[in-house]
Structure 1
Amino acid sequence: MFDSPLDAAQIRRYLTELADTLHDDQQRTVIIVGGALLAWHGLRESTHDVDSIKRLDTVLKNAVMRVAQRYDLAPKWLNDSAAAFIPATFKPDECEILLEHPQLLVLGIPWNQLFLMKLFASRATDTEDIEAIWPRCSFGTVDEAVLAFYEAYPHSPHDEYLADHITRII
């Protein structure tokens, strides 16, 4: 099953199982982004993994492995690979609470921030996601989204066609 897609119900189930697997007094936090957040909200059928922009500690990584073994999932079905792409404008207190458990708090990144992350990646697979996210964003115009992009990723080189790129997608 290692590469089987995860739908919203499975993501919820495995994250709840992950929470139940943790047995210490510390509540850990994951902040999900990407396809998992889109699937959670019904904007996409499924995803291949659950990306967190919050780094996973050793205890959490070990629990992820136990859940993976129990359900025949990919070893990194929940991973923190997206942590390298956190927008500079990201504020954790603006996240949506998706799941609250004594051992695990699952947050969803705000839509504007997810839009900017997807735009930064701009892979072919991100186009449909960007289109699905746009109506949930609070950008008034494409130009506002462009300004927000450069605030979020200040080291990105200027792209005179970025507004056109967004307009074509949305």
Structure 2
Amino acid sequence: MLSQAKIRYLFTRLNDELSQLGEIGEIGLVGGAVMCLVYNARESTKDVDAIFEPTKIIRRLAEKIGKQEGLPPTWLNDGAKGFIFPGFGREEILNLSHLRVWAPEPKYMLAMKCISARWDTSDRDDVVFLIKLLKLKKAKQVFDLIEAYYPKNKIPSKTQFFVDELFEL
């Protein structure tokens, strides 16, 4: 598991590697890394889901660093990129010499977590945390927020069941 301190350390290592290449990188965090780094909602995450550029260079450097640190080659991955749609605000997390790290605004994080909702992961706890953070009281408020970021045809039916069930508790 990757703690907040370990993730920051890994990003510092990545910054150093980018510096040696004379490259500037950008990482947009999503998922558990945001819940860990931005909200302190959990102590650790199993990996860092993100979008990043330059993609090939950062992927190669992350694999190299992962190997050196005894981490899986996918500790930094872009597996969640299919859930990311444009049109959200960003919050800067780190601004290093050769690496910028940001996270989506909390409303977007909630919408994205609801879209990707999986009961067998930390998604439920993350969604509950974000609903409380945003002071939402009704399922309709959550659905309105989701629809503000995602086209209706991209919202799976499981999202409605997931959110409805949260408000039934």
Q: Same fold (TM over 0.5)?
A: yes
SS, match of residue 81 in structure 1? coil
* Paired position in structure 1 for 2:98: 103
**Counterpart in 2 of 1:128?**
125
Moved over 3 A (4+): 53-56, 138-142, 157-163
The one-character-per-residue Cα deviations of 1:31-68 (angstroms, maximum 9, x if unpaired) are 11111111113101211100003465111111101110
Residue of structure 2 in register with 1:25 after alignment: 22
Distance of 1:56 and 1:63 partners within structure 2 = 11
Alpha carbons 1:30, 1:105 under 8 Å: kept: yes
- The answer (yes or no) to whether the contact 1:6–1:49 under 8 Å persists in 2 is yes
Give runs of aligned pairs for residues 1-170 of structure 1, distance below 5 A. Answer: 5-22=1-18, 23-40=20-37, 41-54=39-52, 57-88=55-86, 90-91=87-88, 94-124=89-119, 125=121, 126-137=123-134, 141-154=138-151, 155=153, 156=155, 164-168=164-168
Q: For residues 61 and 29 of structure 1, what CA distance do their matches in structure 2 show?
A: 12
* 8 Å Cα contact 1:54-1:83 kept in structure 2: no
The structure richer in strand per residue is 2
Structure 1: state its 5+ residue gaps: none
Residues 140 and 29 of structure 1: CA distance in aligned 2, closer, same or farther (over 3 Å): farther
Q: Give % identity.
A: 27
Name the aligned partner's letter for residue 25 of structure 1.
Answer: G
Query: Alignment partner of 1:53: what SS?
Result: strand
Report the count of equivalent residues: 162
Shift of 1:15: 1.1
1:110, 1:157 → 2: CA distance? 22
Unmatched segments (≥5 aa) in structure 2:
none
Cα-Cα RMSD:
2.3
Distance change in 2, residues 1:70/1:96 (3 Å):
same
Q: Given that residues 138 and 167 in structure 2 are in contact (C-alpha distance below 8 angstroms), is that contact kept between their aligned partners in structure 1?
A: no
CA contact (8 A) 1:68 1:74 kept: yes
SS across alignment from 1:29: strand
